[in-house]
Structure 1
Amino acid sequence: MATPSPELTASHDTGDAPGKHARRFGLPVATALVMGNIIGGGIFLLPASVAPFGTISLVAFGVLTLGAIALALVFGRLAEQHPRTGGPYVYAREAFGDFAGFLTAWSYWITTWVSNAALAVAAVGYLDVLLPLHGSVAATITAALVIQWLPALANLAGTRYVGAVQLVSTVLKFAPLLLVAVGGLFLFDPSNLGPFQAGDAGPFGAISASAAILLFSYLGVESAAVSAGEVRDPRRNVGRATILGTLGAAFVYLLGTLAVFGTVAHDKLIGSTAPFSDAVNAMFGGTWGGAAVACAALVSMTGALNGWTLLSAQTPYAAAKDGLFPAVFARKRRGVPTAGVLVTAVLASLLTVYNYTAGPEGVFETLVLVTTFTATVPYLLATAAQIYFLASGRSAGVNRPRLIRDAVLASLAAGFSMWLVAGSGYAAVYQGVLFLFAGVLVHACISARRNRNSGRTGAAA
């Protein structure tokens, strides 16, 4: 293992000696973390969700993929310069100060725990295929909470177990996904594709509408950067893991969606609630595909919950070490910030219970879009930080060709982030801004307390 840099050692020092439960991630696990967090449960629903727009939705997929790769390249470059736990938070604070850092950490934290609630609710939908739960609200809520707390317990057991769960779940989820993706190409029937553009919207409107649905599917490209302090040789491995994980996820997304489009008739796909099940049934006959895909979806979402739970604790941990979050978030046990894991699990659990008690007209679907909006705040601030570092000459060791390349990538990533904000929709932006304003009040209280304590320390001296 490479010797940690001084910056990494300082940022990773928690006052605890490394134990047998705390272990740094290598390149394979870091790549699995990125892929596992990007590919959650969305891949099992996306083909049917975008089918009403026609196959032009594949163009939206392509645009989103290019934007995600641009973000991945920017995060990889930033991680080389600042290989510390916290990812976008570290970059924004380094460039723009404490308030920007806090806003990044706060917004990203909201994204993680609301995403956890969304994944748990989606997982229950697939569990219902295997163990019918729809007759009992209490059983449904219990199942959602169990699905949510199992990854939290794995995190509390230590980073050693987080990496193991992530690697296993990523391998298991790819087997059925690749089966559909590759097998579907052999049985591809162009007549199933339907119209290139369906509906009354023009081409640009159809692409934008499709993208608004697909945005949530690419959250997670920053996973390795956020956990840089837990990665061995982060200057080398974080960037590679980010690129490899994003490309792997994009490959599965595009190939899987294309395979489903070509094996399930367009009219049937529009009304499908389990498009991958329908694709398997069309490929092999019978009705066993629903159960098989349900198992794959549960594995996929459990792995995504495992990774997102880790990320939900890492950003508050980094902010708390700098005095921008409550100090309890800076405490680690077995390499894991336990307070961050517990608070995130509790908040996500409360939101999950609310979803099931609010009825069919609840606001949970809007909150899922809120995660898309809140995720773009860290993305935009991180890309702005990269532009600032390049323009101010603070990116050490950058020759002119690489400076130009990095500037172009950062600009593309910033534009992509702004497009994500627009695609979130007015309701999501409205509620997301309320979440951010609540964070401003929290920052005011924390800053006032920190300044008061600093004044007392100065007076005593």
Structure 2
Amino acid sequence: MTSTATLPAEAAAPPEQGPGPHARRFGLPIATCLVMGNIIGGGIFLLPASVAPFGTISLVAFGVLTAGAIALALVFGRLSQRLPQTGGPYVYARAAFGDFAGFLAAWSYWITAWVSNAALAVAAVGYLTVLFPAIGGHKAAMCLAALAVQWLPALANLAGTRYVGAVQLVATVLKFAPLLLVAVGGLFFFDPANLGPFRATDQSPVGAVSAAAAILLFSYLGVESAAVSAGEVRDPARNVGRATILGTAGAAAVYLLGTLAVFGLVPHDELVASEAPFTDAVNAMFGGTWGGTLVACAAVISMLGALNGWTLLSAQTPYAAARDGLFPKVFETKKRGVPVAGVLVTVVLASGLTVYNDTAGSDGVFEILVLVTTFTATVPYLLSTAAQIYFLLSGQSERVHRGRLVRDGVLAGLAFGFSMWLVAGSGYAAVYQGVLFLFAGVLVYAAMSARKHRAGHRAAA
């Protein structure tokens, strides 16, 4: 394991890219869209119905989770000021705890990204069948559609970071238009009689909040998006933190207002049984049955935007690790500001998983892998918040602004608690399966570490 005493010098490494038309293409607006677009995928369109059985107390759970997510966003903002490099959680964990911790952060994040991409694509096809009914019922057509949904964002990534940013900006604007229509416009049609009971179950208030939170916990995954892509953000020490906070706050506002509006538009008894709560809300606002088409369009755009962003992130973390000799060197290949090999490997793995799900999905392997990501996604958060606590407690003058020590310590503690809550909310099965995948990476680390050691000896000879 690399001694942490040598890492501050590495943190001051020269810029990752030279000047060029694709270097540092993400300004604050696009970096913010990257965060918001990755946090809000397709799950928001079902969330109100998912938490309705608990009553309006679920809004309290949303508020608690939002506070935790904002604390985590603030911690990432502080960490990105100290280490404004591509890789985010990988960079922070390695700087604090050495190569092995950094590798675990990179490995777990990479698994999360490519498995989640496959899941997002499969979910997107479900909404595509609403817009194009001819696809539905034909297994081969649905599989090809899922592959197309993955490869289109991958091609945008391969075209360069300027195109990634453009796609992310357009997708965020297009998907937020109908969401804001319901979240803000729905308040003008709000009927308090539709809200139903505050507590709809026999659970205690604490139990009801915890149960609702278990469903909502993973709604905020993606707060680290700007930090992971810090190497492509202009003035990262300043803009990454701002984008992280603005993006998380913006997503939180849409979540809270959207859920509240749907609660007030759709009667509680109908909402509990609803399979398309935002569709029902739009139909309640304007009448007719066109709400389903509007929501399906928004969902497909939302998922394409999320796939665009997550494809980039799935390549950035292995790229950062490859530069340090902890991932295969091929992941270090970068063109037009994008790690080409990382994008290609990610989309090939996700496509393979999609095809396997289509041909042998009855074995439940796909579902197991998606379950795994609910745990692996939290590992980088835990390591990052632990790194911030380490930096603060160790009193490293180059990392700690002493006048902010108490504030940063409180935020780091809240963020660590939030990350632990994410792990607890994963469930026993997710933790068990996720730990197996995490430990499988130990063998990869052993091979890469040995190769790095041999290369160091040859260079010294």
Under TM normalisation by the shorter chain, which class is it?
A: over 0.9
Q: TM-score, normalised by structure 1?
A: 0.94
Check conservation: 1:383, 1:414, Cα contact below 8 A: yes
Query: Aligned-residue CA RMSD in angstroms?
Result: 1.8
Change (3 A) 1:9 1:454: closer
Which of 144, 151, 154 is residue 152 of structure 1 equivalent to? 154
**Structure 1 regions of 5+ residues with no counterpart?**
none
Per-residue CA deviation, residues 176-229 of structure 1 (Å, 9 max, x unaligned), is: 110011121111112212222223433333222222221221111001111111
Structure 1 residue 181 corresponds to structure 2 residue 157: no
Residue 299 of structure 1 and its aligned partner are, at CA, apart by 0.9
TM-score, length basis structure 2:
0.94
Whether contact under 8 Å (1:47, 1:261) holds in the other structure is yes
Partner Cα distance (2:441, 2:209) in 1: 33
2:442 pairs with one of 440, 443, 458: 440
Q: Residue deviations 1:287-323, cap 9 Å, x none?
A: 0010011111111111111000000000000000000
SS in 1 for 2:274: coil
* Compared CA separation, residues 408 and 90, structure 1 to 2 (3 A): same
Q: Does structure 1 conserve the Cα–Cα contact (< 8 Å) formed by 2:66 and 2:252?
A: yes
Number of the residue aligned with 2:81? 80
For the structure 1 residues 254 and 364, does the alpha-carbon distance in structure 2 shift closer, same or farther, using more than 3 Å as the test? Answer: farther
Give 1:32 shift: 0.7
Mapped pair 1:29 → 2:33: no
Q: Distance in 2 between matches of 1:228 and 1:88?
A: 11
Q: Does residue 1:12 correspond to 2:16, yes or no?
A: yes
1:119 corresponds in structure 2 to 120
Aligned to 1:60: 61
Aligned position for 1:277:
279
Instruction: Give 1:45 shift.
Output: 1.3
| Counterpart pick for 2:427 among 425, 428, 434 | 425
8 A contact 2:24–2:234 mirrored in 1: no
Moved more, 373-382 or 350-359: 350-359
CA contact (8 A) 1:215 1:372 kept: no
The answer to whether the aligner puts 1:344 opposite 2:365 as a matched pair is: no
Query: Where does structure 2 lack aligned partners over 5 or more consecutive residues?
Result: 1-8
Q: How does 1:158-169 map to 2 (within 5 A)?
A: 158-169=160-171
State how far apart, in whole Å, the 2-side matches of 1:346 and 1:211 are. Answer: 34
**Counterpart amino acid of 1:119?**
L
Q: Secondary structure at the match of 1:12?
A: coil
| Distance of 1:68 and 1:11 partners within structure 2 | 30
> Partner of 1:96 in structure 2?
97
Give distance in 2, aligned partners of 1:65 and 1:408. 16
**Aligned-pair CA distance for 1:397:** 7.0
Counterpart amino acid of residue 358 in structure 2:
Y
> Number of aligned pairs?
452
Distance of aligned partners of 1:453 and 1:401 in 2 relative to their CA distance in 1, 3 Å threshold: closer
The corresponding residue for 2:50 is 49
The aligned residue for residue 311 of structure 1 is 313
Q: 1:354 to 1:205 in 2, by over 3 A?
A: farther
Q: State how far apart, in whole Å, the 1-side matches of 2:362 and 2:205 are.
A: 32
Partner residue in 2 for 1:405: 407
In the aligned structure 2, how far is the partner of 1:269 from the partner of 1:448? 56
**Which whole-Å CA distance do the structure 1 matches of 2:296 and 2:309 have between them?**
20
Q: Which stretch of structure 1 is more off in the superposition, 375-384 or 197-206?
A: 197-206
Give 1:11 deviation, angstroms. 4.6
Matches within 5 A, 1:252-401: 252-359=254-361, 362-396=364-398, 398-401=400-403
The counterpart of 1:222, out of the listed 201, 219, 224, is 224
Q: Is the 8 A contact 2:24 2:231 kept in 1?
A: no
Q: Return the letter of the residue paired with 2:343.
A: V
Q: Distance in 2 between matches of 1:338 and 1:130?
A: 32
Find the aligned partners of 2:123 and 2:337 in 1 and give their Cα distance: 29
Please say if residues 11 and 95 of structure 2, whose CA atoms lie closer than 8 Å, have aligned partners that are also in contact: no
For 2:55 and 2:355, locate their aligned partners in 1 and report how far apart those are by CA, in whole Å.
35
Question: 1:178 is aligned with what amino acid?
Answer: L
